[in-house]
Amino acid sequence: MWGPATVLPSRLTLSVLPGAGRFCFWRFGAAMRKDLAVPRRGLSSSCPQPLRHRELKQLSHQRYNRLYVGKSISSPKLAATVAEILQLEEKARHEVIMECSPGRGILTKALLETGASVIALESQKNFIPHLKSLDEKRNGKLKVVHCDFFKMDPSNCNTVKPPIMLSQELFPTLGIKANSWLEDTPFKIVGMFPINNEIKALWKLLHDLYTCSSIFSYGRVEVYMFISENQFEKLIAGPTKPELYHVLSVLWQLSCEMKLLLQKVPLSLFEMYTRDGLLVQKTPVKPQNQCFIQMIPRKDLFTEYLTPINYDIFFHMMKQCFGRRSALLIQHLHSLTPCDPLTIMNKAKIKASVKPSDIYPQDFKRLFKAIECSSDDDSKWLYDRVTEEVRC
Amino acid sequence: MAALRWGRGAAGLSRALRSPGRPCTTTKEGILDGLWGPRLNSSASPCEQERRKDWGHVELLEVLEARVRQLQAESVSEVTVKRVEVARVPADGGKAGGTAPPAKARVQPSGAWARKLERDRQLLQRQQALLKEEARGRSPLPAPRPKPSVKAEAKAKGRPKPEAMGKAVARSAAALEGKAKHSAGCVLPPTEPQPESQQYGWMGLEPQQGTWEHREWERLQPWETSLLPCLPPAASPPPGSGSSAQASSELRAKEKAQQNRLQTFLEGCLATGQVGLAHHMLVCYFTRPRRQRLLVPAMFNTVMRGWAQEGSYKELVSVLIMMRHLGFAPDLLSYTSILQCMGRVDQDVTTIRRCLQQMARDGLQLEQLFSEESLSPEERAALLRAVLKAKPNFRLPQPCPQVSPVELLQEVYAKDGPVSYPRLHLPLAELQALFRQQLHVELAGSMPVESVEKVSPTQEILQARKNLAALRKTWEAELHSQLRATKANLAQRSRRGTVTLYPFLCVLPEEELVQILLQVLFSLPAQGEPFVHTAHRVALQTFQRHILRQRSCRGHLQALEQRYAKYLRLLASDTQVAEPCLPRQHWEALGPPEPPPPQPWPLLELLLLGKLLLETLVQVTRLPASLASQPTAGHSVPVLFHVYTFRGVRQIGLLRPHPAFVRLVEDSKASTLTFEATDMPMLCPPLPWSSSQAGGFLLSPTKLMRSIGGSQQHQQRLESCPPAQLHGALDALTQLGNCAWRVNGRLLDLVLEVFLDKGCARLGVPPPVSEAPRPPLDQLAPDTQPHLKAQLRQEVARCLKVAREMHGLRQEALYRLSLAQHLRDRVFWLPHNMDFRGRTYPCPPHFNHLGSDLARALLEFAQGRPLGPRGLDWLKIHLVNLTGLKKREPLHARLAFADAMMDDILDSAERPMTGRKWWMEADDPWQTLACCMEVARAVQSPDPAAYVSHLPVHQDGSCNGLQHYAALGRDSVGAASVNLASSDVPQDVYSGVAAQVEVFRAQDAQKGVKVAQVLEGFIGRKVVKQTVMTVVYGVTLYGGRLQIEKRLRELPTFPQVFVWEASRYLVHLVFKSLREMFSGTRTIQHWLTQSARLISQAGSAVEWVTPLGIPIIQPYHRESKLVIRGGLQSVTWNSSVDSSQQPNTLKQKNGFPPNFIHSLDSCHMMLTALHCYRKGLTFVSVHDCFWTHACDVSIMNEVCREQFVRLHSQPILEDLAAFLERRFCREDEDGAQAQGDTGHSAKLLEMLRAVPQKGDFDLQQVKGSTYFFS
């Protein structure tokens, strides 16, 4: 008897039992157990970022960075510019703008001055009284909610308490009505990606987008965000810049029209505050210029083949393809589908000798379609939904 | 060079060439006697290889000396030929000089191996030449210095001249002497030249040799100089060698890994009988200076042992020479091998005697040789033969029967007093027949069992079966040839001197490997299995089978059968033994202990082997395109795919079968299930546990203590403690395993009826997957909104998950029921072992008494006992206990309830499926039903007291963990609430805590705390139960809150908005109440936690010894990673049990209290078991639930209480503190620890000395407490 002394933790027993008595699924994977034991909020953690040099450096600063949870615009000039950009179209004056983490409300003020209605989602309690005071003369154009935008609609619903909220409970109270996907954009969201985990936030938004859940269940919400320059370069990278091209680039480019609105905004125009809502005097360790970008979900994102039902397979396919960049696409296909890869690639009109970083996002979509069409039953993918979703 | 030549001979090549018609006679030896050089030289010729045995006639001494001379002569002559002057060569008189090899004469026409050897040899010569040159450059001594001694030696004809040697040493190398000896591992002081030269002389290494070697070492880095000669045999880290060592620490880690691999390779060769290859590998390393550094004595010992087992004396000596050459002194193991070999070749007395003398000089005792445990009886006999020849008066040290030193066990092992150990109900002849059946099963390795899910074969099923059989046959053939090719390839690489997996592939014949691989293929779940785990499993299975093969040799089986037959006389119903004794004692008296099974292969080797095998499987198995329903895809498609799943930044590689293959297997509806022999209950009484590795199954290796993830530390602890200390655990486990079981046939019929008819979740019979919810994908309208589709996706995933869970549960039940069906009408046994805390578990995993209600109900004692006067009452009480209806009523009320319900009970027993189905409402329905039937039969029998009952009756500890805490802290309030104090009605600790929480809540509510007001009327037993139950097992505020939150969510009337706040508030109150009621408990927990934290922070894992003497160590360490790159995927093995890593402080400290309590409850169980056994009871346990026959419940209860009191009368915490202090606070003696460390130690010491105070509870009250266990 060399077997383990204890069997699985009870919560895993059922979901991962592949066959009776085969208790070995997670048996030795101490690391996996650890991985599973951490309750995960949001879906963002499923990012298979190959750790590059630059990111490694960031990781080493992570503990320090954790102090800075929020940032907001501190320069009234910048705020005015942003407000101007947001109100590009005069007809949209009646539109609702949702602002995440307004902080001291510099941008909020600017937005209100252009006449828009603003919903401020602030995660820090101590900013709220001040924000509410901004509304005094505006007769209800500003609504302030204690809510963390990037933690809205967590995947496990047991820890819902402010500032973590559910959109389906919050939005009706704010009087927002859902538009269908093909209709116009219902409202705009403006904010800044959290400085220390942009990637996490980007993944969470992606999952929401591809499933039309959370804010995107209200239609194709326009997202305006400040994002670090590096990250933005990665997002818009293509085969021409293979070293920056990665999973997020493909998924974002496919799902949204992205536009750069402001470039090289120095970080000094923002103010950081800590978890307790205290302003941070010193700039973070690695000041990076910010970009202000617009992301509008595409109407034609969903097709007959790529739907919210199977988007996770598409995500998986992308992760697989960018997992080992040196390998040819055809080799990755061997791990994705039992179908003959060459046939598939011919059908998708992709040359057999390309690497994943050599083809455009649209090609990936075509490839996905080719596999989806290859047969009727569910044996066209080697992907397993349940194994993928084993979580705490 | 002789070593090389012998090596080649050893490799078996020359032996193949040997012609039996030309024996090399002793006379020839005699003729050649005076001509050392030529004779040795000729040893390379096939003629010389012929009679290896003849070498036995040559005195060891002479061989060694000649060997040394030859070595020197060769190297020197090489030097002289090339470097100094040609004229010197003839000066050697054609003796040593003759050994200078004309390459032509050397090359043997014996294939690549020989050529390879020749190359190596030349390489060595070149290197030696180089070395000489360097030495000449540096040393003041002239290069041809060794020459005179060679001459002298040649004249001396093999007799050492101690004086001359001594002088030579003194003269030529006096300055270097000390260092040289140091480097050579010599123990003698330089002032005694005579014994020293004797020592060298015996080993064939003269002092000059020593100094020469020293120079060789000097050439190396300083740290290496100190590292290599000092390396202890056990490959423990070498003594620190300063900053240079630190600089090259990475290199050393790498080297260490290489060393380990080489050692494992050598052992693998030995296990597969390829000593020649091992020798060759050793020589390959020996001849290359860069690799030579990696050699350690253990490797030489391994190869020497191999030669000793084969009785190849000459080869053994050559290894010894190599070993000496590197300056390693032979240790106990070396001498064991030397003497063993001498015994086999019938060496003459003087040589043996000289060997023994040398051994004595090395400070080794003769008796120590025989204490080496790993020797097989046969090896021991050979060893003894040699020793007896030299010392006819020598007697084997007789092991005196040891008595357990544990105070608690004195009574168990006392010779006086009434003892009536139980016997089985079966006669000797039947038991022997059962033994043979079991042996048969284990020899087969696996066992087909007919599935209870029967299908009538239709045309499709038959077709699928036919296809599968054909495929299987193809794959078998292809795998076979592929494996053979791999093997040949690896063999070739091994011969080139690369450490490969070759010996591990050789442990099993290809057919068996193929079977293992195909079994893996057919058992892969449809969704795949992590590659790493599969690889590990395959390799482990290979290892297990390998041991099984080793053990199933004829001699071993015969010895086992004889010994077992004698052992059965103790247990059988119709035999007598002289005096009553425990099974283990009886077994030990029947013969010497068996050698432990070989150590499992290291993880690296396991993973490499598993990976290799799996890659072969993936590569070979292909499915014809016609079956894969892919006409476009050429000829065939692979069966196995390697896919990834993504989890955070981690990718996990899985092996996944082709969906078409899965479908094919499903379609074929296999009618048999295959179980490993170790997964089945035993058909005869298990072997008694006699050591930490011997016991349980007849052939399959079983460990006394299970290891988590391959940790070795527990095994090491067990092996290093005196054997008598483990007696308590060994005997308790033996006894638990000796309980005979049988299947409750009537119940099995009923369960099968439900199982085959769609199951019933309520009764714990899992329904088939066809009952699973179906995803509503069919009614999907084409224009569905995307967000609705997203919801649909979740629904699909949920359905899939449910179906998968159902499948798992169904399969588990199928395994269990099929096994039960297979074992129906048989008697079987469940061998037990324990986990690292001492808790006991049955080894067979699928069918045992530890499982669910259903599993327990299927089992009953094979041996029946009449109910006696009170048995029926106990049966009834047990019945009521199982229903869970009258938990808080006194015993007589439960009895009255049973009598009142007798109508329903009888109805349930008679018409379980058609009647009023009263039993179905019970907590444990199936056990209730079984009990109903037993009660009915007893009641309906003419004399209930004489009714023979087989049903186990349970007695449960009420919140056993808290009971132990309460007893440890002598908490009066706590003790009363967990029934340690006598009381008329059973106390319920959960209600008690709930009441206390309510008191606090009411106070807070009055103060105006809002949550407290909201919670009014919602606090009940159920809300707090789980938290209270788990608090002893270390539940934290976080976990406790989640538990309570779950309960609150279940309350329909509770306002859900407050759940979070309320649960947080409540968990604090629960902990506060527990602190109040069990004041001692919390203090003790805190004390344990803090001690563990300090110990762990000081860098050690927490260890302790239970009151029964079982050593325990917590295997929680920081994660270590083993990465193997290349191939199908990089394999990463994360392990948290690697004891070379720092301990994981969080786990060490959080784990200590619960683990400690578990070790205590296991002690209590074992004590109870041993005492029950002494009184002749049948006793089994499920941790804190004790089972026995109805008639014996009263006795068991009495014993259980007595032993609890005795256990806790020991100063448990004080002993623990004293042990921890001894173990972890030793800085006083060293005095050389770092400043910060000392402060840490002081803190720990202070903590350990502050043992928590005890309360005033009188422990003796337990004896009178009815509901302590009930």
pLDDT of residue B60: 45
The pTM assigned to this predicted structure is 0.78
User: Cβ contact (<8 Å) for A46 and B647?
Assistant: yes
Chain B positions in Cβ-Cβ contact with residue A389 (cut-off 8 Å)? 797, 801
Q: How many CB atoms lie within 10 A of CB A31?
A: 19
On whether both A266 and A349 belong to a single domain, the answer is no
Please name the residues in contact with B18: beta carbons below 8 A apart, sequence gap of 6 or more.
Answer: B46, B49, B50
Catalytic residue list contains B1025: yes
Are residue A130 and residue A267 in the same domain, yes or no? yes
Q: Is the dihedral of CA B580, B581, B587, B590 positive or negative?
A: negative
- The residues that bridge with A121 in the sheet, in sequence order, are A100, A145
In a domain, A44, yes or no: no
| pLDDT-derived band at B897, boundaries 50, 70, 90 | very high
Considering the domain architecture, whether residues A222 and A356 belong to the same structural domain is answered as no
What pLDDT shows up at residue B212? 30
Same-domain check for residues A91 and A176: yes
Q: B54, B92, B1161, B1184: which one is catalytic? A: B1184
DSSP B1234: -
Smallest CA–CA distance, residue B821 to chain A, in Å, is: 17
| B7 or B1215, which is more confident | B1215
Asked if pLDDT for residue B1245 goes beyond 60, the answer is yes
The answer to whether the CB of B1099 falls within 8 A of the CB of B1109 is no
Q: Are residues A256 and A173 in the same domain?
A: yes
Helices then strands, each counted (H, E), chain B: 56, 21
Instruction: Provide the mean pLDDT of chain A.
Output: 75
Q: What is the pLDDT of residue B779?
A: 67
Give percent of chain B with pLDDT exceeding 90.
28
CB contact, 8 Å: A385 with chain B? yes
pLDDT band at B1183 (very low <50, low <70, confident <90, very high): confident
- Which residue do the tokens 């370069």 mark? A233
pLDDT, tens digit, 9 for 90 and up, residues B394-443: 877 776 667 777 888 888 888 777 778 888 889 999 999 999 999 999 99
How far apart CA B449 and CA B435 sit, in angstroms, is 19
Predicted pLDDT at A10: 32
In angstroms, the first-to-last Cα distance of chain B is 77
Contacts of B507 (CB under 8 A, 6+ apart): B268, B271, B272, B542, B543, B545, B546, B549
- Min Cα–Cα distance to chain A from B549, Å: 16
Question: How much is the pLDDT for B256?
Answer: 84
* Strand duo A279-280 + A290-297: pairing: unpaired
Q: Select, from the ranges A136-150, B64-78, B209-223, B595-609, the one with the highest average predicted confidence (pLDDT).
A: B595-609
Which residue type, as a one-letter code, is found at position B23? P
- Total of domains in chain A: 2
User: Are the CB atoms for A101 and A127 separated by under 8 Å?
Assistant: no
Q: Is A73 annotated as a binding residue?
A: yes
**pLDDT tens for residues B1049-1067?**
888 888 877 788 888 888 9
Q: Percent of chain B at pLDDT above 70?
A: 78
Asked whether residue A227 is domain-assigned, the answer is yes
The stretch B360-387 carries a mean pLDDT of 81
pLDDT at position B742 is 94
* Cβ–Cβ below 8 Å for B797 and A386: yes
Final residue before a domain boundary, out of A253, A275, A297: A297
Answer whether A308 sits within 8 Å of B793, measured CB to CB: yes
Query: Is the same domain home to A331 and A289?
Result: no
Tokens of B969: 């802290």
How is residue B1032 annotated by DSSP?
Answer: T
Q: Looking at beta carbons, which residues of chain A come within 8 Å of B785?
A: 180-181, 212
What residues 883-912 of chain B have any CB closer than 8 A to a CB of chain A? none
Residue B657 gets which letter from DSSP? E
Q: Would you state the pLDDT for residue B1039?
A: 85
Contact present, B1158 and B399 (Cβ < 8 Å): no
Q: Report helix angle B603-620 to B459-495, nearest 10.
A: 130
* CATH code for position A350: 1.10.8
Query: Range with the lowest mean pLDDT among A229-233, A309-313, A383-387, B339-343?
Result: A383-387
Instruction: Kindly state whether residue A34 falls inside one of the protein's structural domains.
Output: no
Query: Is pLDDT above 90 for B552?
Result: no
**pLDDT value of residue A183:** 81
Asked if the structure places residue A199 within a domain, the reply is: yes
**Is pLDDT above 90 for B1188?**
yes
Tell me whether residue A53 is in a domain.
no
Mark which residues 195-254 of A lie under 8 Å from B by CB.
211-213, 216-217
Which two structure tokens, joined as six digits, stand for B1041? Answer: 């809150």
Is residue A254 one of the residues assigned to a domain?
yes
Q: SS3 string of B721-774?
A: CCHHHHHHHHHHHHHHHHCEEEECHHHHHHHHHHHHCCCEHHHCECCCHHHCCC
Known catalytic residue at B120: no
Q: Is the pLDDT of residue B8 over 70?
A: no
Residue B87 burial (CB count, 10 A): 8
SS (H, E, C) B1158-1195: HHHHHHHHHHHHHHHHHCCCCCEEECCEEEEEHHHHHH
A313 with A203, same domain: the answer is no
The domain boundary residue, chosen from A297, A321, A356: A297
Checking if the pLDDT of A281 tops 70, the result is no
Which of B33, B899, B923, B956 is an active site residue?
B956
What is the 3-state secondary structure of B201-233? HHHCCCHHHHHHHHHHHHHCCHHHHHHHHHCCC
Q: How many Å lie between the alpha carbon of A42 and the closest alpha carbon of chain B?
A: 12
* Rounded distance between C-alpha atoms, residue A20 and residue B769, angstroms: 13
Three-class SS state of B638: strand
Model confidence at B164: pLDDT above 70: no
Both A255 and A366 in a single domain? Answer: no
Q: Which of A256, A278, A297 is the last residue of a domain?
A: A297
- Count CB atoms within 10 A of the CB of residue B845: 21
Tell me if A35 is assigned to some domain. no
In the block, residue with structure tokens 């909220």:
A165
* Residue B633 or B1097, more confident: B1097
Q: Is A49 on the interface with B (CB under 8 A)?
A: yes
* Nearest-by-Cβ selection for B792 from A158, A309, A335: A309
Per the CB < 8 A criterion, the answer to whether B204 and B321 are in contact is yes
What are the DSSP calls for B301-362, one per residue? HHHHHHHHHHT-HHHHHHHHHHHHHTTPPP-HHHHHHHHHHHHHHT--HHHHHHHHHHHHHT
Are both A259 and A317 inside the same structural domain?
no
Q: Is residue A307 part of a domain?
A: yes
Model confidence at B55, in pLDDT bands (50, 70, 90)?
very low
pLDDT at B116: 58
Of B528, B630, B805, the CB nearest to A15: B805
Q: Are B906 and B918 in contact (CB under 8 A)?
A: no
Picking from A303, A331, A387 by the largest number of B CB atoms within 10 A of its own CB, the best residue to mutate is A387
Nearest chain A residue to B653 by CA distance is A335
Selected residues 664-683 of chain B with any CB under 8 Å from a CB in chain A: 678-679
| CA triple B927-B930-B935, angle to 5 deg | 120
Candidates A200, A309, A314, partner chain B, best to mutate (most B CBs within 10 A): A309
Say yes or no for a CB contact (<8 Å) between B836 and A5: yes
Ranges A277-281, B502-506, B834-838: which has the least confidence: A277-281
pLDDT at B209 over 60: no
Confidence of residue A325 (pLDDT cuts 50, 70, 90): confident
Residues A223 and A328 reside in one and the same domain: no
Domain holding A352, by residue range, is 12-26+303-385
Residue showing tokens 């360490």:
B1117
Considering the domain architecture, whether residues A18 and A135 belong to the same structural domain is answered as: no
Question: How many A×B Cβ pairs under 8 Å?
Answer: 218
Q: How confident is the model at residue A250 (pLDDT cuts 50, 70, 90)?
A: very high
Q: Distance, in angstroms, between B580 CA and closest chain A CA?
A: 31
Q: Tell me what ipTM this predicted complex has.
A: 0.77
CATH of residue A248: 3.40.50.150
- In this structure, the answer to whether residues A288 and A312 fall within a common structural domain is no
